[in-house]
């Protein structure tokens, strides 16, 4: 009986002294690209369209800006066409195309001048 009691006592004491550290896994942080549209003109911007995104309706007035997080993905981040649709008061819509590159975690700025 003493043969079993001493090892059991030592194991219990040893197990009690060992700290129980919790191991936590951290998921990698996903950082998406952002697009900032700055209206440097006198018209109002009504839509922003690029692959996988149709951001409309929006109203970005003269000297205003708006930033969009592109968290739905795109087939490519290089040489992407962004179409900006705008109009002056009581006129028909007009559009401008810009070619830009995106990078995860960075904001691409388009200064719209017309």
Per-residue pLDDT tens digits for 48-107? 999 999 999 999 999 999 999 999 988 899 999 999 999 998 889 999 999 999 999 999
Q: Is residue 39 packed enough to be buried (19+ CB in 10 Å), middle (13-18) or exposed (0-12)?
A: buried
- Quote the pLDDT of residue 5: 58
Cα separation, 98 vs 38, in Å, equals 13
pLDDT above 70: residue 17: no
What is the set of domains in the chain, with CATH numbers? 31-112 (2.60.40.2890)
Question: Which of helix, strand or coil describes residue 33?
Answer: coil
Helix (H) or strand (E) holding 72: none
Whole-model pTM?
0.74
């Amino acid at each position: 009986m003493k043969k079993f009691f001493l090892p059991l006592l030592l194991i219990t004491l040893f197990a009690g002294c060992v700290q129980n550290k919790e191991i936590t896994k951290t998921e990698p942080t996903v950082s998406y690209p952002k697009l900032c549209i700055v209206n440097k003109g006198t018209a109002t911007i009504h839509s922003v369209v690029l692959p996988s995104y149709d951001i409309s309706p929006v109203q970005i007035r003269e000297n205003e800006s708006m930033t969009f997080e592109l968290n739905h993905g795109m087939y490519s981040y290089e040489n992407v066409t962004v179409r900006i649709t705008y109009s002056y008061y009581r006129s028909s819509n007009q559009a401008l195309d810009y070619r830009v590159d995106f990078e995860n975690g960075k904001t691409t700025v388009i200064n719209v001048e017309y």
